[in-house]
Amino acid sequence: MAGAVGGRKLAARLGTIGAWSFALQEHPAEEERAAVAALEEAGYGAIWFPESIGSKEALSHAAILLGAGHRIVIASGVANIWARDPMAAANGARTLGEAYPGRFLLGLGVSHAPSVATRGQRYDHPLERMRTYLEAMDAATYSGPQPAEPVGRVLAALGPRMLSLAAEHADGAHTYFVPVEHTGQARARLGPEPFLAVEQTAVLEPDPIEARRIARAFAARYLALPNYANNLRRLGYGDDDLVGAGSDRVVDAVVAWGDVGAIAARVRAHLEAGADHVCIQLRASVSSDLCLGQYRELAAELLGRP
C-alpha cells in the first residue's frame, strides 16, 4: 500500500483546490450530505475533514461524505493512528476504496501527546511508531474485494524526518497550520514526485481587527501544541510570536484574511512554492458555520466557477 497511487496521479485526482472543514462534524449527516453536494457543485476537487478527540470516527465519517458526492474526493485530514490498529486502518481504507473507486484518500497522523494521553496511551517515539504502523498496514491481510484503483495514502508531516517518511512510505504529505515558506521547504524535502497537500486557514473578512480576532480564536489551540510551535520555531518565529494566541506576524503568516483576492493570492503562493493541492479551511465567528456561500465566492475566483 506504500505509495500505491503515486504523487503525480494523486495530484491529478484531487486537482489544485480543495475544502477543509472542522464544521462538518458538528452537523447531522443530512446537513453534511447537502454541504458535500454544494462543494462538489462549486468545483472543489476534495473535501478534507479531521479526526480529533470526541469527533466523529474517521472512516465511518468518510463513508457518510462519500455517499453524498459523485466525483469529489473525500480525504481524512487526518485519521489518528492511535484510534485504530493498522489492519483496521488498511482494511477500512480498502473497503471505502472498493465502494468508491478513486474517491477516498487516507490521511494518517501521529496526533499530539495530550490527545494520545486522553485515549489512555503514551505518546512515545512518534516517527518510529508511524513507520511501524505503515509496515503493519502493508502486511495486513484482507479477504474482501480489492479496490479497482489503489487507495492513496498521505502522512501529516511538518518536520524533515516525517516528510522524508511520507516520501518513502506513502504517496506524499499533508501539511497543516503552515506559512508559505514551509511549503517550499516541504517540497524540497519530499522531492518532485510525492504529493503535497497544504491546508490554508482563511477568514473572509477585510477588517483587520475582526479578521485577527477570528484567526486568533482558531490559532491559540495550535500554538499551544509543541508540534506546531516547534515547526514555526524552525522557520524563525520566536517565543514572542508564539505566546498565547500569537503575534500579528505569526497569525498573519498561518491564517490568510481579507477579501477573496487576498485569500486567493495566498493559495496561489503555496502552489507556486511547490504545493500540488491547497485545501482551504474557512473560519467564521461561529465554529459550526459551514461557510458555503464564502466557498462559492472563492470558487469563482480560483476555479472560474459562477
Give how many domains the chain has, as a whole number: 1
Q: pLDDT grade, residue 143 (50/70/90)?
A: very high
Range of the domain at 74: 7-200+268-302
- Rounded to the nearest integer, the mean pLDDT of the chain is 95
Task: Classify residue 46 as left (phi > 0), alpha (psi -120 to 50) or beta.
Answer: beta
Q: pLDDT grade, residue 204 (50/70/90)?
A: very high
φ, ψ dihedrals at 209, nearest 5°: -65, -50
Say yes or no to pLDDT of 126 above 90. Answer: yes
Nearest of 199, 228, 201 to residue 215 by alpha carbon = 201
pLDDT of res. 3:
79
* Domain assignment of residue 142, yes or no: yes
pLDDT of res. 52:
86
* Domain assignment of residue 73, yes or no: yes
Instruction: State the average pLDDT over residues 147-168.
Output: 97
* Domain assignment of residue 215, yes or no: no
Nearest of 123, 274, 268 to residue 190 by alpha carbon = 274
Written as one string, the DSSP assignment of 203-226 is: EE---HHHHHHHHHHHHHHHHTSH
Over the stretch 3-32, which tens digit does the pLDDT of each residue have?
A: 799 999 999 999 999 999 999 999 999 999
pLDDT of res. 116:
61
pLDDT of res. 128:
96
Say yes or no to pLDDT of 81 above 80. Answer: yes
Instruction: State the average pLDDT over residues 218-231.
Output: 95
Say yes or no to pLDDT of 122 above 80. Answer: no
Instruction: State the average pLDDT over residues 62-68.
Output: 98
pLDDT of res. 11:
98
pLDDT of res. 187:
98
Q: pLDDT grade, residue 125 (50/70/90)?
A: confident
Q: pLDDT grade, residue 112 (50/70/90)?
A: low
* Domain assignment of residue 32, yes or no: yes
Written as one string, the DSSP assignment of 98-147 is: HHSTT-EEEEEE---HHHHHHTT-----HHHHHHHHHHHHHH----SPPP
Nearest of 272, 116, 250 to residue 196 by alpha carbon = 272
* Domain assignment of residue 259, yes or no: no
pLDDT of res. 271:
98
Q: How many CB atoms lie within 10 A of CB 279?
A: 25
Can you give the CATH number for the domain in which 148 is found?
3.20.20.30
Say yes or no to pLDDT of 68 above 70. Answer: yes
pLDDT of res. 296:
98
Q: How far is CA 16 from CA 10, 73, 186, in A?
A: 11, 12, 17
Instruction: State the average pLDDT over residues 261-271.
Output: 98
Instruction: State the average pLDDT over residues 266-271.
Output: 98
Q: pLDDT grade, residue 117 (50/70/90)?
A: low
* Domain assignment of residue 69, yes or no: yes
* Domain assignment of residue 169, yes or no: yes
- Cell numbers for 54, please give them: 470526541
Q: Quote the longest CA-to-CA distance of the chain.
A: 56
* Domain assignment of residue 174, yes or no: yes
With b meaning 16 or more CB within 10 Å and e meaning fewer, what string describes 30-69? eebbebbebbbebbbbbbbbbbeeebbebbebbbbbbebb
